[in-house]
Amino acid sequence: MAFPAYRRSHRSTNGRAIVLFASDPIASLIAALGGNSIVLGAYAANKGVTLVSGAVSQWDDARGPVGFGPSLAQATTTKRPLLTGGAIVFDGVDDNLMSADVSLFDLSTDKSVFAIGAVTGGTTATIASLSNAAGDRNLGLNTNSTASGFAPAYRDSVATNTMTITGLALGTTPRLIAAGKTTTSCIADIPNKAEVTRTPTGLCASEAAHLAVGDWRQSSPGNPCAWSAQVVLVLAAKYTATQLAAVMNFATAQAGVVAA
């Protein structure tokens, strides 16, 4: 579903229509979440997309390519997603986008990831994840994994330390999925469906940790998901109930999201 045109109009005294553009909904959402210092990355499919031969080579932060979240890019032409119907569409084969290593996404401090879009196929990928490996602190979209089942999850290098929500049906209906962490607890949520919290000792502070929307394994890659990305957000905090509600309200009104 494409973002609608945000405008209103009224008649002037001479009968002509004057069009006034309303505030940018992404900007309004960022303000509601706490502003630029809290929202480390904000990617919207209707802003900052660079196309080469119809495929997405780069996706910039909605606020601009400099001074905000790092650009997400793909240098290999055959692995670039498409911009279709107001969403960035990953093919479920090998399409992916990734940022460079940036200290902004260091997982030694609190973080959250939100993904808005429809997951149409596949069961073995993280559709959006922060990595904290040395020299590899990045945001990746549709990075491969060998996980079983599509679920928001936190997973580190220890296979038994995991947190998942299962049972989200694949399909064309856009969803909001969230994952967040502090140094002592992790949370994953599909609004109105389920919420899971885990409080492992020292787990979330691991320098080899990942915070993922999707399900993560650190073993050899499997098949990625096919999904249509509309908005991806990264926050410098584990999200609160108020922040989750703000993103859900935005997702419902602007991206056609239906609660699970």
The CATH number linked to 200 is 2.60.120.200
Residue 210 pLDDT class (50, 70, 90 cuts): low
Q: 247 - beta bridge partners?
A: none
Confidence of residue 125 (pLDDT cuts 50, 70, 90): low
Domain annotation covers residue 3: no
The secondary structure of residue 224, as a DSSP letter, is P
What is the average pLDDT value for the chain, to the nearest integer? 75
- The pLDDT value given to residue 174: 87
Predicted local confidence at residue 203, as pLDDT: 39
Residue 155 pLDDT: 41
Domain range spanning residue 74? 25-255
Q: Measured between alpha carbons, how far is 236 from 46 in angstroms, rounded to an integer? A: 23
Please give the structure tokens belonging to residue 70. Answer: 């790092």
Distance separating alpha carbons of residues 24 and 99, to the nearest angstrom: 25
Least reliable range by pLDDT among 91-95, 128-132, 141-145, 201-205? 201-205
Within a domain: residue 5? no
Comparing 8-12, 106-110, 229-233, the range with the smallest average pLDDT is 8-12
Q: How far apart are CA 208 and CA 137, in angstroms?
A: 10
| Segment 14-29, tens digit of pLDDT | 444 443 334 799 999 9
8: left (phi over 0), alpha (psi -120 to 50) or beta: beta
150 in any annotated domain: yes
- Say if CB 26 and CB 233 are below 8 A apart: no
In contact, 137 and 102? CB cutoff 8 Å:
yes
Question: Does any domain span residue 20?
Answer: no
* Count of domains for the chain: 1
Is 137 inside a domain boundary? yes
Q: Each residue of 47-67: pLDDT tens digit?
A: 999 999 999 999 999 999 999
pLDDT at 193: 64
SS3 129: strand
Q: Which of 95-104, 217-226, 249-258 has the lowest mean pLDDT?
A: 217-226
Q: What pLDDT does residue 143 have?
A: 64
- On whether residue 66 sits in a domain, the answer given is yes
* Residue pLDDT, tens place only, 153-205: 444 333 344 444 455 567 788 888 888 877 677 777 777 666 666 654 443 43
> Does 177 map to a domain?
yes
- When pLDDT is averaged across residues 206-223 and rounded to a whole number, the result is 49
